[in-house]
């Protein structure tokens, strides 16, 4: 699917004008997804993660790689993450799975001085909210050169291994990190993961990546801002242009 075939969501959607979302520069807390949000999806770190998931499942269940891949996608679609399916259906230890799948080569990921400058200029606290692990998040943030901007990371372990977009974990994250939803902005590449955030009163920002799965739910009315280049957009917010 080409980019222009995705659901048409204005850069500032009608939802922005019809609800009491926080002015961007007045946000107290910025909540960022990690993978394919803070760095471009074209880096394809998830391609490495995907391959390592398939290999883990094949070894864990004694399957060939094709069967492992089919089961991986089946569990992802049904449970939200392949890991949750393996835990519920096969009693898998999630810590071993996370350590294996996140042991990826980060040399493909370049430091991002533009992102670092934008985050430095952006008022408000910054939190990472990810379906990955803290260890993976810290490696990625460190490689990007922005780790020092994020004092808090809410990961899949803190969520009791329940993934976004399960609504309960958004409330858990809010409670754990003392987030006031009405004064917070959530930034995410998976459009459907923004629905619970909007329902809680957060301002939502969808980072378009050109992927089918990222665009699922983009036309459901819960997206307030649409972004193609996150560092540039954040710099404009910090400068008061947005």
For the chain, list the domains and their CATH numbers: 11-39+109-238 (3.40.50.1000), 45-101 (1.10.150.450)
End-to-end CA distance of the chain: 29
pLDDT tens-digit map of 173-201: 999 999 999 999 999 999 999 999 999 99
Kindly list the distances between the CA atom of residue 145 and the CA atoms of 127, 131, 151, 188, 230, in Å, as whole numbers in the listed order. Answer: 15, 21, 14, 19, 15
pLDDT of residue 115: 98
The radius of gyration of the chain from alpha carbons, rounded to an integer in Å, stands at 18
pLDDT of residue 21: 62
Residue 68 has pLDDT above 70, yes or no: yes
Entry pTM: 0.89
Confidence of residue 1 (pLDDT cuts 50, 70, 90): very low
Residue 4 has pLDDT above 70, yes or no: no
pLDDT of residue 222: 97
pLDDT tens-digit map of 230-242: 999 999 999 988 7
Average per-residue pLDDT for the chain: 91
Residue 20 has pLDDT above 80, yes or no: no
DSSP state string for the chain: --GGGS----SB-HHHHHS-PPPGGG-SEEEE--TTTTS-GGG-HHHHHHHHHHHHHHHHHT--HHHHHHHHHHHHHHHSSHHHHHHHHH---HHHHHHHHT---GGGS---HHHHHHHHHS-SEEEEE-SS-HHHHHHHHHHHT-GGG-SEEE-TTTTTTPPTT-HHHHHHHHHHTT--GGGEEEEES-GGGGHHHHHTT-EEEEE--S-HHHHTTTTSS---EEES-HHHHHHHHHTT--
pLDDT tens-digit map of 109-138: 999 999 999 999 999 999 999 999 999 999
| Pairing mode, strands 203-207 and 125-129 | unpaired
pLDDT of residue 23: 87
Average pLDDT over residues 76-87: 91
């Amino acid at each position: 699917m080409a980019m222009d075939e995705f659901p048409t969501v204005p850069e500032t959607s009608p939802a922005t004008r019809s609800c009491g979302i926080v002015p961007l520069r007045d946000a107290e807390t910025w909540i960022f997804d990690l993978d394919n949000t803070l760095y471009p999806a074209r880096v394809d770190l998830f391609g490495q993660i995907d391959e390592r998931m398939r290999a883990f499942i094949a070894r864990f269940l004694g399957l060939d790689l094709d069967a492992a891949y089919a089961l991986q996608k089946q569990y992802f679609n049904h449970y939200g993450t392949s890991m949750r399916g393996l835990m519920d259906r096969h009693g898998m230890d999630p810590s071993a799975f996370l350590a294996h799948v996140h042991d990826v080569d980060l040399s493909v990921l370049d430091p991002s001085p533009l992102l670092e400058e934008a985050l430095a200029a952006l008022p408000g606290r910054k939190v990472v909210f990810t379906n990955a692990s803290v260890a993976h998040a810290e490696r990625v943030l460190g490689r990007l050169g922005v780790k020092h901007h994020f004092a808090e990371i809410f990961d899949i372990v803190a969520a009791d291994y329940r993934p976004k977009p399960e609504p309960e974990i958004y409330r858990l994250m809010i409670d754990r990190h003392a987030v006031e939803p009405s004064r917070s902005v959530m930034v995410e590449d998976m459009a459907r993961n923004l629905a619970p955030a909007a329902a809680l009163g957060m301002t939502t920002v969808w980072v378009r990546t050109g992927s089918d799965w990222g665009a699922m739910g983009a036309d459901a009315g819960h997206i307030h801002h649409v972004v193609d280049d996150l560092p540039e957009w954040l710099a404009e917010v910090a400068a008061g242009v947005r």
